[in-house]
Structure 1
């Protein structure tokens, strides 16, 4: 019968019996003459006592090992070649399944009476104080002693803990770890990774992206702020796998691939949706956003009918000068439905010159345009696009520009400087070596894409481009879901796409909801990383819509967080568990009755009580060390995980342009106080990419 309380926070009393049994075994093995047994019997008894000593010694070692593990943080890093990958499971790290037993152990470790087991020893603290006070001591022997105490060696029991903070007991409650993984079938249910800044989200992304590339999935990583190590890791893994690699980075337009966020679509209305989506939609702004959407939709329909591919530059040009586009479309349309119309319009313009001049003065339109509009009206000519353009031109120009004024600042930002050529590429510029990418070709060729949005420089432009990319990817998912895709596809005709969105709260929009809701049918596997759930709510402007987005993530990984609301996204999914505890009760009584023989009575007892506690509390998640997390995977199973830090030193064969880009990205990170938590030294040069 096992003891109902698993109490390892106590002195290892098993050592006493183990020592006694060992001494007895040794004495019997020596078979002194005063032992009244024969030599064979003495050896058999000695062997039995030795087995007992080893058994009790093992029990003592379990207690000592557990207590040491409670206050120890072990380093965990892997070389890139050592990162495991599989076609069946996704590797997350090392850890264990969290159960009610671990809740009980953590509860015990936090009790005041067990403080000495969970905290560092006095000797450890004294050595750390010595290192601090002797930092500038000029004596060589003192510095040698400091170096000795800081060495990472098996014999150094007092080496400093890794600089990851947190409470070591959260992982120390289970000394026996195993590889933690989740079935690949659960990837299409999507993964949500939550954690405050600089606790290991990007390093986890490196591990997951490395596996996705080796597995053969199409990989697209959105990095709004720019992490050089992540970009280098993706390039190296794509190069080793023989996969095409593209970099799209708003901060480096001279070497970035080009991309038209609104140039590829299955329905023409997508152009207006992607263009207007970044505009505010709260309160009175919603009506103006709807008007902008209709206006851009009219422009897009006219452009595509005339054979032009929409982009931000052309949308901006025609938004400012809608009249020129309308005249071109009217000319194209009337040439087909009313040959000889120009002579009729000229006659109308000559006969009504005075009235047209007054109308032009009031509306801000040219007399020739007003003559064409009058000709179409008088002859009752109908065409959906022409009717929409006539509706736009019928408004007073000054009044109309006020209605769409919210569109102009956004398009001005998207069409200024070198970024304009990046997101509004000239398809006829054959001398431009920068490739033009679109998502369908990326998927068909199994490419790997790093998207750097440079949000630290201009978060509004970064958000607009990222949101448009998500909308484009959602449209592509719809095409794949309905029709499949052909060239280069794996059987049965669909290739998995692993989409990693760091700081996805800056990218999320209305198009993100159908992507995570229905994108799994097209093979999309979304992994979203963000700091707090409040960031998502602030972006979408609606708590209910934010929870709708969160409800589409079946797997949740929670690193250290800084607010209770975010922590409750995980803890509220967990049940309460029964935790046994022991209470000591003492009682004494006396009697003044002279006839009572028992003048004094006392009683001491230990009571085992059952408490119902939450399996995890938000306070536990606040105390997680860097690189550690709780993961709710595989049907709600709770796992405690340590992520490996990828050891990416001395990577060679990096092209000069990517190496220079990485150098500048690291400089920018340092300038913004975002130094990487796992450095990388890039060596060597390679061919172009």
Structure 2
């Protein structure tokens, strides 16, 4: 079977042939008088040579351009890598049902074959040679394999969009430090803000550039009054957010706090179970007395036996008043008898507990408050040991400025904005949540996990009560910082149907395994991401994981063979030369090439479609508010 094969990046030999033909044509014209052939034949021959030279020259030019386009062209100019915020807004308005992620092309087996030709036949390090004099300032300084993006003709490059319904399946952004994750997030966030949707950005490190990008997008879109900023390092400027405001059932608040406790057995730890039971009892007690649960109120009740006893007394007394009409007179009589007693006097709490068990419990028991009674009667020393893992977390979240920021209703004299996640979503606001994990990783992680749990509750409400209206766009930078807690996985698993679009940025796949404690749970997180975008990657395991998630293809190569033989005692010999066109399996995009990706260039798997693209920088400049 005959097959044609040609190296597309070979030297342009056609130039030599074209040059020879031009020289021959000129020679014929120069020697017209000495040539014995008729004039018409000589001119016709010269014209034929010039025409053939033109054809061969054009063929050679195409070969030359194939190599030149690897590193030169309009797409590599500085102005092509930047974009005005107003232009991003215009793209969002023209494509209200799509997310624009840059320019590029669909990556196919053809590009993989071209990549192999470059790697096999050319020196990659010499592809980007010195620029012509005077052109250095025109091109951006780019490191990495810039030639990969040049494998596709410039005229075929087009805008790359992700349909918004596909984002309900969530999006993973993977890239090493300074590879372009924040640039991508800024681009996606600006479009969500322009669409008028709810945007929540969780940034563990509190990147000031990302925060500024979000605020600029709000100002440009005329939504400056909807921008809400939370940051523990700037309590005097930060909004105050209550992470316990939203709940469907009382047990959710206990679970929200208990999920912060480190456990070696994924929730089966006895200390976690005991702490959750104690939290549930205290929250029930606070609600019974009409006090809104807050981190400060819960901490006070758990760390002080006297406060726990006072809460138990008030909660049980309030319930008994509503459950038994004769209870007030019984209580007052018991108080008076206790006051007159000459023996050991009982506390008011013990008296109320006795009345509840004797007169109320037989007909109208309250299992929630019985849990509170059980906690109050538990030996104090053992109770303290069992919640020893919980109290340090509550201490951290209620100490210093965090007390005002996370328990806002406890401080009524503070004038700064007080809001909760439910209001953020209902009013389509834009929340930037800086966690300041660089200063205090544990506190930042706990704050992030609590708000993720709050978001999971809101997702459940939208499911249960049919309040699914506008979508919620959740962007999480450094996802592993807050991904170590169960609410994070719950959001990925179940929030898509509640119109949550989650975009997570991480540096390596191993970040999830390290945060969650095992690879199985990391795989569970990755399995909930329907699409991914890979920027430059330095981790070999991450490179291999993403390459393995792409379809396999085949590449061709030419096998050259030669041989010779001779017969004993004879001067005869045989020789042969041969070429065979071979195929071998290959990764659609080589794993090692992820490590050579230029900044802000990417390979993406968008719900099964493989694309190669580049992300534009949004210019940083003064923004005028939209009219």
- Scaled by the length of structure 1, the TM-score of the pair is 0.80
Between the aligned partners of 1:608 and 1:242, the Cα distance in structure 2 is 61
From 66, 78, 82, the equivalent of 2:83 is: 78
For the residue of structure 2 that corresponds to 1:94, the secondary structure is strand
Residue matched to 1:37:
40
Name the CA shift for 1:81/1:14 in 2 (closer, same or farther; >3 Å): farther
Deviation readout 1:445-491 (Å, 9 max, x if unpaired): 22211111111111111111111111111111222233344xxxxxx
Deviates more, 1:313-322 or 1:5-14: 5-14
Residue matched to 1:52:
55
Between the aligned partners of 2:597 and 2:282, the Cα distance in structure 1 is 53
Q: Does 1:18 align with 2:4?
A: no
Deviates more, 1:167-176 or 1:406-415: 167-176
Residue matched to 2:195:
215
Residue matched to 2:587:
614
Residue matched to 2:452:
470
Residue matched to 1:174:
152
Correspondence list, 1:370-519, <5 A: 370-379=350-359, 381=361, 382-426=365-409, 429=412, 432-485=414-467, 494-508=469-483, 509-519=485-495
Between the aligned partners of 1:256 and 1:343, the Cα distance in structure 2 is 48
Deviation readout 1:335-369 (Å, 9 max, x if unpaired): 33212132332256358764667xxxxxxxxx332
Name the CA shift for 1:427/1:23 in 2 (closer, same or farther; >3 Å): farther
Contact 2:533 2:605 in 1 (8 A): yes
From 579, 603, 608, the equivalent of 2:576 is: 603
Name the CA shift for 1:402/1:197 in 2 (closer, same or farther; >3 Å): same
Residue matched to 2:598:
625
Deviates more, 1:73-82 or 1:207-216: 73-82
Q: Does 1:152 align with 2:136?
A: yes
Correspondence list, 1:257-276, <5 A: 257-276=239-258
Residue matched to 2:214:
234
1:310 to partner: Cα distance = 1.1
Residue matched to 1:137:
none
Residue matched to 1:93:
102
Name the CA shift for 1:40/1:24 in 2 (closer, same or farther; >3 Å): closer
For the residue of structure 1 that corresponds to 2:612, the secondary structure is strand
Extract unaligned runs of 5+ from structure 1: 128-147, 358-366, 486-492, 655-685
For the residue of structure 1 that corresponds to 2:544, the secondary structure is helix
1:313 to partner: Cα distance = 0.9
Deviation readout 1:282-319 (Å, 9 max, x if unpaired): 14972111111111111111212222211111111111
Between the aligned partners of 1:36 and 1:483, the Cα distance in structure 2 is 95
Deviates more, 1:42-51 or 1:439-448: 42-51
Between the aligned partners of 1:121 and 1:64, the Cα distance in structure 2 is 8
For the residue of structure 2 that corresponds to 1:315, the secondary structure is helix
Name the CA shift for 1:122/1:589 in 2 (closer, same or farther; >3 Å): farther
1:204 to partner: Cα distance = 1.0
Name the CA shift for 1:323/1:647 in 2 (closer, same or farther; >3 Å): same
Q: Does 1:332 align with 2:293?
A: no
Name the CA shift for 1:375/1:197 in 2 (closer, same or farther; >3 Å): same
Contact 1:189 1:552 in 2 (8 A): yes
Between the aligned partners of 1:191 and 1:123, the Cα distance in structure 2 is 37
Contact 2:320 2:360 in 1 (8 A): no
Correspondence list, 1:661-676, <5 A: none
Between the aligned partners of 2:406 and 2:478, the Cα distance in structure 1 is 21
Contact 1:577 1:614 in 2 (8 A): yes
Contact 1:259 1:424 in 2 (8 A): yes
Between the aligned partners of 2:503 and 2:31, the Cα distance in structure 1 is 69
From 506, 512, 518, the equivalent of 1:542 is: 518
Between the aligned partners of 1:326 and 1:40, the Cα distance in structure 2 is 114
For the residue of structure 2 that corresponds to 1:253, the secondary structure is coil
Deviates more, 1:24-33 or 1:327-336: 24-33
Deviation readout 1:167-226 (Å, 9 max, x if unpaired): 334334334333222222211111011112221111111111111111222111111101
Residue matched to 1:107:
116
Between the aligned partners of 1:4 and 1:506, the Cα distance in structure 2 is 54
Name the CA shift for 1:351/1:402 in 2 (closer, same or farther; >3 Å): farther
